[in-house]
Structure 1
Amino acid sequence: MLEAFTNRVLSVIQREFPTRGFRLGEELGVITDGSAKFGMSNLWAQFQQSPMPDEAFDQVIIEKFAGALKLIDGAAEAIPQAWEDVKPRLRVQLVSAKVTDVGRAITFPFADDVHSSLVSDCDTGYAYISNEDLERWGQSAVDAIELGKLNIVTSSPTLPMTVMPGPAPLVAIQTGDGYDAARILIPEIRAKIISELTGDEDGEVYVGVPNRDFLIAWPMTVDDDLHQQLSQTVAMDARRQSHPLSERVLRVTKDKIAIA
């Protein structure tokens, strides 16, 4: 089934982008243009869940690849040659281990299905930073990551956090800037979320990061039925939304992130 779907996607994008040289990759469910790989697993899951007719979903395929190609084509512009020029652009980011082949990019463990990475932000999206980039700038990965975290905080001095109070309070972050899920990497933001939900920043909460542009958290004290409902919603969101990340729920403290 995945093989047939991959062939269908390949046919659509070869027709829409005839000069890009798209072909099947060596692995099952992978398409490549020779420089990047595109996994089909999450797009296949989205297709299975979608009520759209085939012709309408073809447009979804085209839009996804158009966005990916735009990022690839803009990579050279997004990564300046000079360190002083790239410093304000650095951001930490989360990237799905299932969907995205990030080539030579620096990646770090986050969860079993998600990596954290370092990117250069620009108006058209972002480009992944490689070790070769850091060597050219004479910078360490540790220092660059800390700067990437700081830049996310300073880009939104007032954290746009939506709080839904009640017997089962929720916190959501959905700014649309491309770094909502990645905010869970920042200890100060984790502390704010935990404090809002528990009254104590040294507490522990559940967090979902189903896609790049959404973060949701709830306290450990919610009843089991609601916890299961929220967990299922996170998993469904990861399968249906663009830029999917993790279907898994996390247990988060100010100092640690772990799979629930």
Structure 2
Amino acid sequence: MSAADEPVSHFPEDFRAAVSARLASDGYTIVGWEQNGVNVRPPEGGDEQYIGLSNLHRRVRAAEPAEWPEMIHSFLDRLARAVAAPDIPNDLTTILDRLRPRLGRPFDRTVAHPWGIPLPGTGLEITLVVDFPQTMAFVTDEMLKRSRKRGEDLLDVALENLRTATPADFFERASPEHDIYIGHTGDSYDATRALLLEELMPDSPAGFWVAIPSREELAVWPVSFPAIKNVHGLHLFATENFREHAYPITDDVFWVWQGMWHPFITLKNGDSVIDPPDLFIEALQELEGPRP
């Protein structure tokens, strides 16, 4: 193989070899590698398909190599079921119970055109999806047009659906030492439940620090004077899990107070930088008790 023929993928050779072997075993034909995935021809033939592998690589990197083939097979099986997902009807109002919100990084709209609105203060975006048993599909502007509905109206419905799907014991205290709470159900909407945290958590007069490093993780810490000196630990949690876990969202820590989101800790030049907004001092005045 010449240098020009070498795959441009940044994945390590052992991972590419394991993926190649599993694809061949499952009947796929590899057409060519790209930096973050691979182009294949499916077992039944037809048009080429691109398979993104970044999230899969994050998962297998934490497992033993002997486990990789089954993990890759499961990934491809879920992908095949997603392709075969039921068609979305022209009128979204016929499937209102399937709507869910999604909180994540903004889409590159030169590639896809889902409906979405920014979550102020975060650099993140709220979108809508249609939830199926094995996959989900993003609601697009065209779908809304056909349904004669505004995205903001259906977002209210989707949020109510998420409330209904959230167990009463969603948040669990992470340790006896710190009153950090972790929310995890594994249903792909855990990070999105940050949109409901002021409803799901007991009242906190000065608000909450929030970390959503990946789609399946939500960490919340009620603001208190004793916690201020340790809040950098929440950023360590965010940066490590953002780097290691599938479906990453952000390594920032936010402060949420009275329904508004504010950047609080960010990573700059490899260092955690705490930069509270002016409102944070006002919020601290709502707290009672001794200061550290």
State TM-score, norm by structure 2: 0.67
**Distance in 1, Cα, partners of 2:126 & 2:160:** 15
By how many angstroms is 1:173 displaced?
A: 1.7
Alignment counterpart, residue 141 of structure 2, candidates 127, 131, 136: 131
> Is 2:248 the counterpart of 1:237?
no
What residue is the counterpart of 1:145 in the other structure?
A: 155
Alignment counterpart, residue 177 of structure 1, candidates 165, 187, 192: 187
Q: 1:96 to 1:127 in 2, by over 3 A?
A: same
1:210 maps to a residue whose letter is P
Q: 2:127 touches 2:138 (CA, 8 Å); kept in 1?
A: yes
| Overall identity of the aligned pairs, in % | 19
What residue is the counterpart of 1:193 in the other structure?
A: 201
What root-mean-square deviation, in Å, do the aligned CA atoms of Structure 1 and Structure 2 show?
A: 3.6
1:193 maps to a residue whose letter is M
Q: Secondary structure at the match of 1:210?
A: coil
**Distance in 2, Cα, partners of 1:57 & 1:257:** 39
Q: 1:14 to 1:217 in 2, by over 3 A?
A: same
**Distance in 2, Cα, partners of 1:37 & 1:97:** 21
By how many angstroms is 1:182 displaced?
A: 0.7
Q: Deviations over 1:37-84 (max 9, x none)?
A: 554445545555x3523x4334333333432342232152xx233333
**Distance in 2, Cα, partners of 1:10 & 1:146:** 41
By how many angstroms is 1:22 displaced?
A: 6.2
Gaps of 5+ in 1: none
| Structure with the higher helix share, 1 or 2 | 1
**Distance in 1, Cα, partners of 2:60 & 2:187:** 26
Gaps of 5+ in 2: 1-6, 41-46, 265-292
> Is 2:79 the counterpart of 1:72?
no
Q: Deviations over 1:232-256 (max 9, x none)?
A: 2232223333433323222222322
By how many angstroms is 1:219 displaced?
A: 2.9
Aligned length: 244
Q: Deviations over 1:84-136 (max 9, x none)?
A: 321111110134569xx983322333444x54320111222322111111111
What residue is the counterpart of 1:5 in the other structure?
A: 11
**Distance in 1, Cα, partners of 2:249 & 2:136:** 17
**Distance in 2, Cα, partners of 1:231 & 1:174:** 18
What residue is the counterpart of 1:31 in the other structure?
A: 38
> Is 2:225 the counterpart of 1:216?
no
By how many angstroms is 1:30 displaced?
A: 3.8
1:130 maps to a residue whose letter is T
Q: 1:133 to 1:117 in 2, by over 3 A?
A: same
Q: 2:8 touches 2:33 (CA, 8 Å); kept in 1?
A: no
Q: 2:181 touches 2:219 (CA, 8 Å); kept in 1?
A: yes
Q: Secondary structure at the match of 2:185?
A: coil
What residue is the counterpart of 1:82 in the other structure?
A: 91
What residue is the counterpart of 1:57 in the other structure?
A: 68
Report which of the two structures shows the higher radius of gyration computed on alpha carbons: 2
Q: Deviations over 1:132-167 (max 9, x none)?
A: 111111111111112111211133474633246866
> Is 2:252 the counterpart of 1:248?
yes
Q: 1:109 touches 1:115 (CA, 8 Å); kept in 2?
A: yes
- Of the structure 1 ranges 164-173 and 142-151, higher mean CA displacement relative to structure 2 is found in 164-173
What residue is the counterpart of 1:258 in the other structure?
A: 262
Q: Which has the higher contact order (CA 8 A, sep 6+)?
A: 1
Q: Deviations over 1:200-238 (max 9, x none)?
A: 2xx3221111222321111333143x3233322232223
What residue is the counterpart of 1:107 in the other structure?
A: 116
